[in-house]
A = this chain, B = another copy of it.
Amino acid sequence: MTDIRAQITQLDQEDPLKAFRNEFVLDLKTIYLDGNSLGVLPKKTKQVLEDTINNQWGARLIRSWNEDWLSCKERIASKVAKLINAEPNEVIIADSVSVNLYKLAFASLTYQTNKSEVLTDNLNFPSDLYIFQELCKQSFPDKTLNVVHQDKFEDANANILNAITEDTSLVSLSHVTFQNAFRYDVKNINEKAREMNALNLWDLSHSVGAVPIDVKALKIDMAVGCTYKYLNGGPGAPAFLYVSKELQNKLQNPIAGWFSHAAPFDFSPTFEGAESIHNFAVGTPPVLSMKAIEPGIDIFLNAGVHNIQNKSELLFELFLQLFQLFLKEREYTISTPLSPEERGSHIALTHEEAYRINLSLINPRINRKTIITDHRPPDIIRIALTPLYLSFSELCEAVIRLVEIVDTKEFENHSPLKSGVI
């Protein structure tokens, strides 16, 4: 253990991102391993919001639309574009991930009239499946939703590749899966899809800010994603939506709002869709939640996605080492792929008592830090590796608690009956 401790101290000392911890509001009595669900608060965001509330809404009022809010929307979108190597005119900030997914899937199926199938798999986020299920049922009854059943990660890419046929209209998957952080071979899948004239639509919610994304190199047609996980944009912050320039004039947003119009401020009674990415915008964005997004993205761009990816891998390697030494024998297993290019930045640790261990981490006995992870049914504890604010020693402390909770049967203090909602 002494060797490992020395190694961990060194990892923290040599961490090129260590200064970035200071950009965030962190509680030293808490180790936060849930950044894949809700990222932490950047200090700068507090200032931005104070200004937005007091000086913009509170004083400049309606004038703030012209003075900042309209341009801010574009500015944030262009920063997200930078993050995923898109052009600024290929990204908007709008609505929620689900609403954006609906708009793009609807537009794709309208465009691909002569094809019969929407392809996804059972690793996709449940609410992505809901969107497709009801879309096929309510709007495209001639289309079938093919939910590929994935058993083993080893076969996941091949299963998708095999399932893409000439009938495939749209392939839509989570880039990194929410449960086990499996990451697809996006490029190969997209190439096969293009070969079959199918469109691809990726949900980047669990990958953006966690792994490098290059929509051009990966040949991504369309994407949606979340700003409140690894990007630290604040609870329920508006989502983003990407459509490649080549595709924009072929697709039409089904929900034609104020901001989808070519000239929103003409108050024309007739809809004329913007011939740009703005076609996929709808109504007025929730300004406070939107303004909160920018500082987190700035931090991200400053840190550099490759530094983040490197540290994420080092954190994972450390965890794996500790797992082999201490967790394996306590009947924990890792259900996240071990190969870096096959995973995102969280770890799915499974254990028969996952639910109660998770409760023990969050509500510890006295003199222990609060460790915030989350539980996903049936037996997963998710541990997010967030390189911007997680230290190697914190990760080690979390492992020590995982050991202790099992060894002392501390989890038995909690009822196995599930309560709470998230």
| Complex interface residues of chain A between 278 and 319 (CB less than 8 A to chain B) | 282-290, 292
Task: Pick the most buried of A63, A234, A288: most chain B CB atoms within 10 A of its CB.
Answer: A288
A256 touches B41 (CB 8 A): no
Which residues of A70-87 are within 8 A (CB) of B? 70
Partner of A271, one of B66, B134, B283: B134
Question: How far apart are the CA atoms of A290 and B134 in the complex, in Å?
Answer: 27
Asked whether A49 lies within 8 Å of B288 as measured between CB atoms, the reply is: yes
Give the Cβ gap from A185 to chain B, nearest Cβ, in Å: 23
- The answer to whether A269 and B126 touch across the interface, beta carbons within 8 angstroms, is yes
> Once the chains bind, are A34 and B61 in contact (CB under 8 Å)?
yes
Asked if residues A377 and B267 are in contact (CB atoms below 8 Å), the reply is yes
Q: What is the minimal beta-carbon distance from A224 to any residue of chain B, in angstroms?
A: 11
Interface stretch among A96-104, A336-344, A347-355, A407-415? A96-104
B130 touches A271 (CB 8 A): yes
Listed residue (A41, A64, A99, A255) with the most chain B CB atoms within 10 angstroms of its CB: A255
Q: Interface digits, A27-59 against B, CB 8 Å rule (1 contact, 0 not)?
A: 100001010011011000110010001101111
Interface string of A8-37 (1 = CB under 8 A from B): 000000000000000001010000101001
- Interface residue tally for chain A (C-beta within 8 Å): 88
Quick check: which of A164-172, A206-214, A235-243, A327-335 contacts chain B, the rest being far away? Answer: A235-243
Give Cα A382 to B67, complex, Å: 21
| Chain A, range 248-270, C-beta contacts under 8 Å to B | 252-258, 260-261, 264-270
A110 at the interface (CB under 8 A from B): yes
CA distance A261 to B421 in the complex (A): 13
Which residues from chain B contact A376 at a C-beta distance below 8 Å? 267
**Given known A-B contacts A62-B34, A133-B256, A255-B98, A126 and B283 have beta carbons under 8 A apart:** no
Chain A contacts with B in 116-154, Cβ cutoff 8 A: 122, 126-127, 129-131, 133-135, 138-139, 147
**Contacts known (A127-B258, A130-B271, A267-B126); A110 close to B138, Cβ less than 8 A:** yes
Cβ–Cβ contact A62 & B286, under 8 A? no
Residues of B within 8 A of A258 (CB): 98, 126-127, 130
Instruction: Enumerate chain B residues within 8 angstroms of A252, measured Cβ to Cβ.
Output: 134, 138
Whether A66 touches B420, Cβ cut-off 8 Å, given contacts A99-B95, A236-B285, A283-B97, is yes
Interfacial chain B residues near A234, Cβ < 8 Å? 57, 287-288
Contacts of A221 in B (CB 8 A): none
A186 adjacent to chain B (CB < 8 Å) = no
Q: Does A325 contact B (CB under 8 A)?
A: no
CB pair A102–B255 under 8 Å, yes or no, is yes
A342 to B362, CA, bound (A): 57
Q: Which of A361-396 contact B (CB under 8 A)?
A: 362, 372, 374, 376-377
Given contacts A265-B421, A283-B99, A286-B237, contact A38 B53 (CB under 8 A): no
Residues of chain B contacted by A287 (CB below 8 angstroms): 234-236, 289
Contact check, A46 vs B41: say whether CB atoms are below 8 A apart.
Answer: no
Would you call A238 and B286 a contact (CB within 8 A)? Answer: yes
A69 within 8 A of B: yes
**Interchain CA distance A232-B373 in the complex, whole Å:** 37
Determine if A41 and B62 form an interchain contact, defined as CB atoms under 8 angstroms apart. Answer: no
Among candidates B63, B254, B290, B292, residue contacting A372 with C-beta atoms closer than 8 Å? B63
Chain B residue with the shortest CB-CB distance to A178: B267
Contact of A255 among B46, B63, B99, B236 (CB under 8 A): B99
**In the bound complex, CA of A239 to CA of B147 (Å):** 33
CB-based contact B421/A66 at 8 Å: yes
Q: Is the CB of B372 within 8 A of A284?
A: no
Contacts A/B (CB < 8 Å), 17 sampled: A37-B62, A38-B57, A38-B62, A40-B61, A62-B374, A96-B284, A99-B257, A110-B138, A126-B269, A133-B270, A133-B271, A134-B253, A138-B252, A139-B254, A236-B284, A286-B290, A288-B292
